Amino acid sequence: MLNITSAKVYFNQENTPVSEAFDDIYFSNTDGLQETQYVFIEGNHLWKRWTEFQASHFVIAETGFGTGLNFFATIQLFRQFRKEYPNSPLKRLFFLSFEKYPLALAQLKQAHLAYPEFSSIASQLQENWLDPIVGCYRIHFEETTLDLWFGDVADNLPQLGDYMQNKIDVWFLDGFAPSKNPEMWNDKLYEYVYRYTKQQGSFATFTAASAVRKGLESVGFTVTKRKGYGKKRECLQGIKLQEQPLDIKTPWYLPQSAKLTKQADIAIIGGGIASLFTAISLVNRGAKVTIYCEDEQPALNASGNKQGAFYPQLSDDDEKNIRFYVHAFAYGLQQLHWAIKQGIQFDHKFCGVALCAYDERSAKKLQKIADYHWSSSLYQELNKQGLSDVVGLPLPCGGGFIPNGAWLAPRQFVQNAFSYLEKCGVILKTFQNITALSQDENDQWYLTNAKGELFAHQIVVLANGHKLKDFAQTNQLPLCSVRGQVSHIPTSETLQKLKTVVCYDGYLTPVDIDKNTHCIGASHIRDNDTREFSLQEQQENQQKIQKNLTGVDWVNEIDTSENQARMGIRCTVRDRIPMVGNVPNFNEQVVDYKNIFNLRRRKQTIRNASHFTNLYLTGALGSRGLTSAPLLGEVLASLIYNEPLPLSEDIIHSLSANRSWIRKLLKGTVVKPVE
């Protein structure tokens, strides 16, 4: 099951939330905030650690998010620290919290009333509090990033993966008491806590139970007792003194961070939605970013449509793909609202997206979606009348509805967002067709354009859509160009009643802001990168909706005869999920792993995957770029800066650029290097 069960709580006479399942309070009846400060903040010596810290980011992990009180107290203290020490190298805080039974929003709001001093932070949390599924949700609070891992900690903690070994500075071991919640407090928990903790990293916990103390000592922590808070006699704190050798379980998929100088100098090749959101996440980390766009302005290829749909891909045979898109959708919503708050202008409407069960095959696909029993805030199964009502026009079938879906103007959004980034210091170079990449012995990258000019940068990100595999370093990636033609049709009195995006074997948007046209499409021509107008595709776009939604009169008003259209080339991959991360060295990997099947069987040492140092990519976004690009950009920036990643390890593996040949090698299939 992907859905999460909300906590069942009641509020006692002191207005403190109490868990019905665990018969335990969420925080002290007398003063939960002081308890947090004493047990977790002072127990881990946070202020002293921060004043002496020399890295750019600090990572705290917590078992049991509860009401968020520990997080609120920590972020407030960190803001005080940043104010008093503005020149400290420590700029960013990451707070990872694991919660099996999150509070429902109404209960969360009630619990937050107890601490009005945190009202601003609490309001921001509430605004972004979605009905969760299993996995990680990233929420930004300016200098602090909150990763909420919903689900059983026993399942989620391993999903931090090989990448997070020795990366966590501090643990808040919270949650309900061991006597009330013995399932959480176990040897596996202690082993993973130790595995992910840095040398000299610490933990603190409210409990002094001997089983907890012995468990933490047995995995390697040096544990001490200190006076407990309030009526509690003792509590525990500890430190990881010994450096732990890395134990990489899947070295062929291990993400590798960049070799950074004080201010990262990063080139991004590409001028579309993938490039934009990567730049946003990098700028938020203080990077110096230069964009290389081959056209006269950004968003003239796949990101340049007049209207595009924003919604998750919920129908897939691979559950990991579905989870990726649900998390991407949640993060994308957050980033779109961030852009609106920054004053970035773009036409849009959060009108919802309707999915039509127009034939037997599509009905089965939508039934699969419904069988997940998603929260109604994500997906609603509707009959013919119900779907017609939300769409605003009669439909011949039922289907599904994604209420938080939207349409937006991609070209307008990308171009205006790049203008915003230029004011933040991003350099945008247009008419730059980058044709080759090379690297010197000092890991400096050189970009060569079509005129033979060279540009030097420390790090390069490839985000250039269907041209991603045009370089020597990427030509073995299994990418495919897919041509798409979107038709622009005039509106009518009837069509203006359309309230949502309608998806069938194509899509139709509501009328644009100027109330002139709709977008309808799009064609899907594989292995084709031509961009000339096609009369056949234009007519097929009209025929498709009239064939799929037969029996309703309004589809006969769809008229593509004015031959207004826009052509773009998407970049896709056969397994229908994007690529992000390191650019793999194909030849070295297939040589290193030619015997990996037997090495695994014999449990012999396997070296980490070979990548091109400081070369990264984000691509193969297909027709869901508006939805996936924000999270992919954040994943990539996090990886470059050696920060926690906002996705589970199994999804990160699915997004790896080397996945196609690694899967073959793991099965024992021969893959030969190229000459």
Sequence-ordered alpha helix ranges (H) in 304-358: 319-341
500 burial (CB, 10 Å; 0-12 / 13-18 / 19+) is: buried
Residue 488 and residue 637 in one domain: no
Judge whether 362 lies within some domain.
yes
Q: Tens digits of per-residue pLDDT, 379-425?
A: 999 999 999 999 999 999 999 999 999 999 999 999 999 999 999 99
Residue 640 and residue 506 in one domain: no
pLDDT band at 331 (very low <50, low <70, confident <90, very high): very high
Least confident of 125-129, 315-319, 611-615: 315-319
Beta carbons of 137 and 327 less than 8 angstroms apart: yes
pLDDT band at 135 (very low <50, low <70, confident <90, very high): very high
Residue 564 and residue 446 in one domain: no
Residue 381: the pLDDT is 97
- The number of domains in the chain is 3
Residue 608: count of CB within 10 angstroms of its CB: 15
Q: What is the dihedral of CA 73, 75, 81, 86, to 10 degrees?
A: -160
Residue 675: the pLDDT is 80
Residue 68: the pLDDT is 94
Residue 18 and residue 105 in one domain: yes
Per-residue pLDDT, averaged over 424-453, amounts to: 96
Q: Vertex 461, ends 455 and 463: CA angle to 5°?
A: 110
Residue 1: the pLDDT is 67
Q: What is the dihedral of CA 559, 560, 563, 564, to 10 degrees?
A: 90
Final residue before a domain boundary, out of 189, 214, 239: 239
Backbone torsion region of residue 335, taken as left when φ is above 0, otherwise alpha when ψ lies between -120 and 50, otherwise beta:
alpha
What are 596's two structure tokens? 């990996």
Proportion of the chain above pLDDT 70, given as a percent: 98
Domain CATH code at residue 530: 3.30.9.10
Answer yes or no: is pLDDT of 469 > 70.
yes
Residue 370 and residue 427 in one domain: no
Judge whether 322 lies within some domain.
no
Final residue before a domain boundary, out of 522, 555, 573: 573
Answer yes or no: is pLDDT of 26 > 90.
no
Residue 432 and residue 560 in one domain: no
Answer yes or no: is pLDDT of 28 > 70.
no
Residue 135 and residue 195 in one domain: yes
Least confident of 61-65, 175-179, 245-249, 397-401: 175-179
Residue 332: the pLDDT is 97
Least confident of 30-44, 73-87, 210-224, 353-367: 30-44
The amino acid occupying position 173 is: L
What are 241's two structure tokens? 């003194």
Residue 518 and residue 630 in one domain: no
Answer yes or no: is pLDDT of 453 > 60.
yes
Helix (H) or strand (E) holding 274: helix 273-283
Judge whether 30 lies within some domain.
yes
Final residue before a domain boundary, out of 573, 605, 624: 573
pLDDT band at 16 (very low <50, low <70, confident <90, very high): confident
Domain CATH code at residue 200: 3.40.50.150
Residue 548: the pLDDT is 96
Distance of CA 319 to the CA centre of its chain: 16
The per-type count for the chain, helices as H runs and strands as E runs, is: 19, 32
pLDDT band at 266 (very low <50, low <70, confident <90, very high): very high
Average pLDDT over the chain, rounded to an integer: 94
Residue 539 and residue 647 in one domain: no
Give the list of residues 6+ apart from residue 210 with CB closer than 8 angstroms, or none: none
Q: Tens digits of per-residue pLDDT, 90-123?
A: 999 999 999 998 999 999 999 899 899 999 999 9
Residue 135 and residue 213 in one domain: yes
Q: Tens digits of per-residue pLDDT, 217-259?
A: 999 999 999 998 888 889 999 999 988 888 899 999 999 999 9
pLDDT band at 179 (very low <50, low <70, confident <90, very high): confident
Report in angstroms the alpha-carbon separations of 403 from 124, 353, 379. 21, 7, 7
Domain CATH code at residue 647: 3.50.50.60
Residue 457 and residue 493 in one domain: no
Judge whether 2 lies within some domain.
no
Q: Tens digits of per-residue pLDDT, 578-603?
A: 999 999 999 999 999 999 999 998 98
Per-residue pLDDT, averaged over 462-468, amounts to: 96
Per-residue pLDDT, averaged over 549-563, amounts to: 95
pLDDT band at 29 (very low <50, low <70, confident <90, very high): low
Judge whether 381 lies within some domain.
yes
Helix (H) or strand (E) holding 479: strand 479-490
Residue 30: the pLDDT is 63
Residue 365 and residue 453 in one domain: no
Per-residue pLDDT, averaged over 629-633, amounts to: 98
Least confident of 12-16, 340-344, 461-465, 641-645: 12-16
Per-residue pLDDT, averaged over 619-636, amounts to: 95
Q: Tens digits of per-residue pLDDT, 521-533?
A: 889 999 988 999 9
DSSP letters along 31-75, please? THHHHHIIIIIITTTHHHHHHH--SSEEEEEEE--TTSHHHHHHH
Domain containing 210 equals 9-239
Residue 668: the pLDDT is 92
Answer yes or no: is pLDDT of 40 > 60.
yes
Answer yes or no: is pLDDT of 19 > 80.
no
Judge whether 129 lies within some domain.
yes
Residue listed under structure tokens 């919290």: 97
- Residue scoring higher pLDDT (432 or 230): 432
Residue 246: the pLDDT is 85
What are 474's two structure tokens? 């990427």
